[in-house]
Every structure is written in C-alpha cells, then in structure tokens.
Chain A
Amino acid sequence: MSPRFEATGLSRRFGRVQALDNADFDVDAGEVVALIGDNGAGKSTLVKALTGNLDLDAGEVRFEGEPVHFATPQDASRLGIEVVHQDLALAPHLDAAQNMFLGREVMRPGVLGHLGFMDTPQMRRRSAQAFTELGSAVRSVVVPVGSMSGGQKQTVAIARAVAWADKVLFLDEPTAALGVVQTRNVLDTIKKVRDRGIAVVLISHSMPHVLEVADRVQVLRLGRRVATYRGADTSVEELVGAMTGALDPKEGAA
C-alpha cells in the first residue's frame, strides 16, 4: 500500500541557488514525521512545494498513490491537507470559535442563512468539542485569541487545521517561543492528532521535541533528503551529525 503523501525527485532553483535538489519525502497515515535540517537546507521550500504555495521545476507528488498537482493552497485544502504556519495566521481580535470557522462559517438554516446570518451557537459548540477532543488547554471559545497564551494560540491554530484537514497536517516550528508547560501541551496535541490517523509533518529545530513525538525523522541537507531515522532508535548526536554532514549516513537507513 502506498504512503498517504509522498514526493519524489523534487527540484526547484531560485537563480543560482538550488533550493531543492532531487529531494524525496514521504509520510504515512497515523504517523509523525519530523523534517529537520539546518537553516537553508530547504525545509520551508519543501513544505511550500508540497502544499501548493510554490511551483516545482521537476518532481512528482502523490496523494494516496495518485499523482496530484496543487496550483493553490486551496487545492491542497480540498484534499484534506493543511499547514499551521509559524505565524499561526489567527485573527487576534476574534475568539477561538470565530477563528476556527473563519472563511467556513456555519450559516443559519433557511432565509436567515441566505441573508448572511451565522449559526454562532453551533460554531461555538463544535469548536469546544474540537478542543476537548484534542485535550487542549483552551478554556473558552469566546475570548479573543489575542489575549491567550502562546500555547493556547498554537492549539487553536492546530485545532483549526485539524478540523479541516483529516489527511495531512504540516506544523511549522510549533514549539518555538513556547514555555515548558505550553510545549508539553502542544506535543500532547500532536500525538492525539496522530492517534486519529492523520499524517503529521513536524518541522522543528528542537531535537528533544523531535525525538519525543516523531515516529520517523527525515534529515534535509543542501536541498535533498540525506537520511531517515526511526525516532525510537536515534539520538540527538546522530541527528545533528546528519544535519551538518559530519556523519555521512546512507539514504534510507530506516
């Protein structure tokens, strides 16, 4: 059976810089794959290419075995693929429920709905349910997101993405700038999302966090995948070595 989401031979050049050089990638359902690499290794270029934010020079992307092409992020959304960007893209003045359903509001039935009236109670109820299921630290769906802690904001962004993405979830540096307790909540959330059968791709600089939640770790260097490890079998030293090129592992070690 083919992986849920995979890419082979991706290449992209910006002027004289070869940002992606024949890179491969794959993630399966119910699995957390960490994507690591030094700055400039091509992590964000790869994520952009996989989510319809960037055109490719060469390469093939397959979703559940079928070749796909995403011209816009909305194309990826339609297949159940969402990204939680580092800036979270939340509207700080709106509350958690309003953010959760922004752009996808549930309308009142009948004439009122056609007039543009929203079904606020239902959106709040469903948001609360979503947060509960993720075991999130969010205690209210009716206070502005701007007044929440960094960890709570992160959970809102993840919950929003998960609510619409039941296939693949990309998380860009979700624990940067978070405290210890908040980081713990976010990592727990990631595990819960995985346990629901969603493929999770985690981009992070924090090796301990990567080792805690990742089932597999894929290392990018100079625009290509240089190594893949099992999260349970590897160590910080090994990962750092692979990232910097000090070790020269073979592709597909896992």
Chain B
Amino acid sequence: MSTSTGAGTGTSTAPTASTIETTAAHGNLTDRVKAMQSVWILGVLVVIVAVFGVMSPSTFLTTGNLTNIAQNVSIWAVLAVGMTFVIITSGIDLSVGSVLVVSSVVSAKVMESMGDSGWTTALVGLALAVVVGIFWGALNGFLVARAKVPPLIVTLGTLSVALGVAQILTGGLDIRSAPQVLQDNIGYGRLAGIPAITIIALVVVVLGGIMLHRTRFGRYTYAIGSNETSARRVGINVDRKLVQIYALSGFLAGIAGILSLAQYGTTTIAGQSLTNLNVIAAVVIGGTSIFGGQGSMFGSMVGLFIPAVLQSGFVIVGVSPYWQTVAVGSILITAVYVDQHRRAAAVRGG
C-alpha cells in the first residue's frame, strides 16, 4: 500500500470511510449464514428430512439411522473437500475414486507384507496412501497447469491409469488384510456414540473449510477460478497453485483410501466406480459453480447429505431404487438451475 493512501484528503466531500460497508452485509451469525449461497439448498435438505421424518418417524429419525447416514457419507466428505477446491478453480477431478483405490492398494500391500496388525503398520500404511495420493494429484495438476491439457481429459486419463495400476499391482484380486486396529478403531470404532470415521471426516472438512475461506491459499483458489488472467496479472503463480490444489485433492483421496480400507476391510478395486460422479454431484448441488470462482465447504457438505438422506429415506419408505436415481438427478439439475438464476439476479443487482 502506498503511503499516500494513508494521508487523508481534507477537502474531500466524499463519504467518510465509516459509511462504506466493511463487514459482511449483516453483523450477526444467523444473517451471515442466510446470505450464503448454499442456504436455499439447506432448506431443501431440511424439507427432505422433515418429509421422511413424518412418513416414518420411528425408523428414519432414529439416532441409529442418522448415524449410519453420517458414517456412509464420511469417505465422500473427505473427497468432496478436495473436489470443492478443484471445482472452484473451474477444474474437475474425475480420478478421485481411482486414486482412492490405488492408494489403498499400495498401502494394503505394504501393510500386508509387514505382517503385523498394529498401529505402527497402520501409520506406515497411512503415510504411503497419502504419498501415493499426492503423487497422482500432483501429476493431474502438472498436466493441467503446465501441459495445458483440459482437466476433464487429464483426470479421465488418470482415472483409467490409476485403476489399471491398482489392478496390475494386485492382479485384480482385492487385498482383504487391512490391519485389525484400523478396522476396529477407525472403521467401526465410536467416540461418544459417533463413528470414528465420521469424526475424522469432520476434522478434515473443518480444516478444509478454514483453508478455503480464511487463508491466502483459499483466496487464490477463488481468484484463479474467477479470473485466471487477472490472477496472473497481480503476480499469483497460477501454475504452482493449480499443482498444489490438485495435489490436495489427491492427498485427500489417499486419506479416503485408508478410511475405505478401514471401513470395508478390502481394497474395493471393482467398486468406487461412481464415487467421482457422486462427489462432483454433491459439490455442485451445494452451490459450487462448475465455471469456477464460487462455492463453499458448507454447501458441499449439504450437497453430500441430500443424496444420502434421499437414498436412506427411499429405502426406508420402500421406494424403488430407480426412483432414487431419478430424484438425485432432478435435484442436481434443479440446484444448478436455481443457482444460475440467483446469480443472474445478483448481477442485475436484484
């Protein structure tokens, strides 16, 4: 900041600094939450929960069921944190499911060879999964930022390559020997009645949210998605940031790989096939713009719970599985449609 800005211009008839709004439109927390992009979609979630709650109060609105829902979205939540960053840059990461699988395969293979089933083995496994995840994420980022290949193509490619590597490493056979401590404590352990895996996911989500909304890293993520040229002009090293953001997504896929191993006790090589699309749908439902520049971690989490709650509710009231996919798809389109209109209204100043 230049020194001259600090010196007041006494002759000015302009408004004083105090008349310009410097706090988020409305002071208190409730109003701030109301002003968020994702607030209407939270309303949708509340309505869905209420409808199912009325339809089958004794089964849907039980602690057991709600805990199950939270547990079942935990792994996706970890992936959604990275996906939110990536989509805000106007990118996409289709490879998360495959990177999850290859991370869990590498880590399971090494943990298996260590033979032991204790915490040391589990920590080595976690470290390996994270390293493998970062490798694939950084590779995505490098190809997007430096080689200028569109993210859709890059991550479609690594989706396939990473899964292939997992199959080569295992011969296609799932490894079913995750250390017992992982399965007992992380996969099915509970703290104060809350599944351990959900607590871990919550910590990741909160840290991710702080990083996105409070730090310079997050600010640059928005700037790159909002106007990449302007980000470059003000001296942001956009290429390096993109590599870091995709690496973050890979890192989280590595963590998700270990969590998946803990939860399922197997590497789910043939599974996770729809994980990427489910996570992308959640992030987009939550108000993150596929064109970049806009989105919130809170919204992504709401977006994650909508399909999960719908599925659980539909199963409980006994709706055919085909209607579930129809419902989730419709909500996805409605969410984006409404969001577009809100945005157009905002630009008009409405």
Contacts and interface: CB of A to CB of B under 8 A. Distances in A.
- The answer to whether A and B touch directly, with their CB atoms under 8 angstroms apart, is yes
14 contacts: A93-B294, A103-B234, A105-B219, A116-B216, A125-B17, A129-B6, A132-B19, A133-B12, A136-B14, A139-B19, A139-B20, A144-B346, A149-B349, A166-B2
Contacts of B235: 74, 77, 103
A174 to B, nearest CB: 17
A192 B223 CA distance: 29
Given A91-B223, A102-B231, A102-B236, 10 more contacts: A91-B222, A92-B226, A93-B294, A94-B293, A103-B236, A126-B5, A128-B22, A133-B5, A136-B14, A139-B21
B214 A102 contact: no
A125 to B, nearest CB: 6
Interface of A: 73-74, 77, 80, 85, 87, 89-94, 97-98, 102-105, 107, 115-118, 121, 124-136, 138-144, 146-147, 149, 162-166, 192, 195-198
Given A136-B14, A147-B349, A118 B219 contact: yes
Interface of B: 1-6, 8-9, 12-25, 211, 214-217, 219, 222-223, 225-227, 229-231, 233-236, 293-294, 346-347, 349
Contacts of A131: 17, 20
Given A132-B20, A192-B9, A117 B214 contact: yes
A105 B216 contact: yes
A124 B23 contact: yes
Best-buried of A107, A115, A116, A139 by chain B (most CB within 10 Å)? A116
A143 B25 contact: yes
Contacts of A125: 17, 22
Contacts of A124: 22-23
B230 A89 contact: yes
B233 A132 contact: no
Contacts of B233: 73, 85, 89
Contacts of A164: 1-2
Given A91-B222, A166-B4, A132 B17 contact: yes
Contacts of A134: 14
Contacts of B22: 97, 121, 124-125, 127-128, 141-142
A92 B349 contact: no
A165 B234 CA distance: 13
Contacts of B222: 91, 93-94, 98
7 A-B pairs with least C-beta separation = A135-B14, A103-B234, A140-B21, A93-B293, A116-B215, A91-B226, A166-B2
B75 to A, nearest CB: 27
A116 B248 CA distance: 16
B30 to A, nearest CB: 17
Given A94-B223, A102-B223, A116-B215, A135 B13 contact: yes
Nearest to B14: A135
Contact of A93 (B2, B3, B211, B226): B226
A134 B226 CA distance: 26
Contacts of A89: 227, 229-230, 233-234
